[in-house]
Structures are given as structure tokens and as C-alpha cells.
Amino acid sequence: MWRVPLPFEDLNKIHEYFSHEKIQCLLCGRWYKSLGLHLRQSHQWTVKDYKEQFGLPWSRGLNGMGTRRKYQRHAHKLHAQNKLLKGCQDEEHCNKLHRVGERRKIPAHRKYLSKHMKKLGMKRGQPFEPGVCEALEEMGFTHTQIAKLFDTTQSRVSRFLKRGNKYQQQEGGTKWP
């Protein structure tokens, strides 16, 4: 009998979950090329609920590697024929393309981030430190993730990283360029 697993808490296990030719439904244990339709028809679940329940990244599609490679080949073919959509046609079209729902850090990312924060000797919400910000960027963290650590905005972090030499540290706090 199939037992529904607990949410993923390790990035290596998440990578292993997505590495098979087909993807396994964590609700029933069956294997599929793609899970979206199965989740709706068999379990009445949305992809959002499924990813949230099992701690899967929002940025990954629920497809096996076989399906993913098929989509990649098709995209490369369209790109070679110059038929891929390039940019937004108008503001409404752009908003539709870039519509993003709520995105939360998955438990595995929180654990990974905490581990690196400890390595760098920092705590959540501490004053902004340029060296730490640059180190986190080199480790592959996004500007949004870094901003959340320092309780600031993503645009401020991006501005600092692009214009690091204009950054000024003043007595009693940080002054942004």
C-alpha cells in the first residue's frame, strides 16, 4: 500500500525526484510523463497545492525528464526557425506572460539558506553588510532572497551589487546609493 511521503526537506532529494524519465505522483505512487492533468482529474488537486504540500520548487514543471527533453527540443527547433516569442508585444500581453502567483521558499531552500547564513556568521534581519551580500550572490542566491535576509527590497540589493563602488557606510547605519 502506498504511503504519502512527508514534504521534501533536502535539495538533493528534490533533484533526485525530478531526475527520472517519468515523474511519480506522491499522492497515489503511480508514474506519469506529466502530472498536471492527473492531479486535476484523479485527485482534484491543483499544481500549486501539490507543490506547496510536498515542498517542491515553484520554478519546476511537474514533468519527467523525457517530457522535459521533448519540450526543450521543440523550443530549440522554434528558436532555430526564429519563431520563438521575443519580448512582450504590449503591456497587457507582458502582464499575462509574467503573471506570477504567490511564491514561497520551499523548506529545502530555507534549510540550505540557513546553513549558508551560519557559515557566513550572519542572522536573519541583521544590518546590511556588503561583503556578505556579494558572497551570497556568488553562492547563487537571487537578489530577492538576499533582500529578504536583510529585510530590505530586491531593488536596493540589485542597485548595490551593480554599483558596489558607490556604496557608502556611515556611522550608525547604512546609506544606500
Identify the CATH number of the domain in which residue 165 sits.
1.10.10
| Same domain for 4 and 77 | yes
| Same domain for 81 and 1 | yes
Nearest Cα residue to 24 out of 44, 50, 48: 50
- The model's pTM is 0.56
Domain boundary among 85, 109, 138: 85
| Same domain for 131 and 75 | no
- In which domain, by residue range, is 125 found? 120-175
Q: 97 lies in a domain?
A: no
pLDDT at 167: 42
Going by C-beta distance under 8 Å and a sequence separation of 6 or more, which residues neighbour residue 100?
Answer: none
Domain boundary among 60, 85, 110: 85
Q: 101 lies in a domain?
A: no
Residue 39 has pLDDT above 90, yes or no: yes
| Same domain for 63 and 125 | no
**Tally of domains within the chain:** 2
Q: 106 lies in a domain?
A: no
| Same domain for 79 and 6 | yes
Write out pLDDT tens, residues 82-112: 776 665 566 676 666 555 555 566 666 666 6
Residue 81, C-alpha cell as written in the block: 526557425
Q: 6 lies in a domain?
A: yes
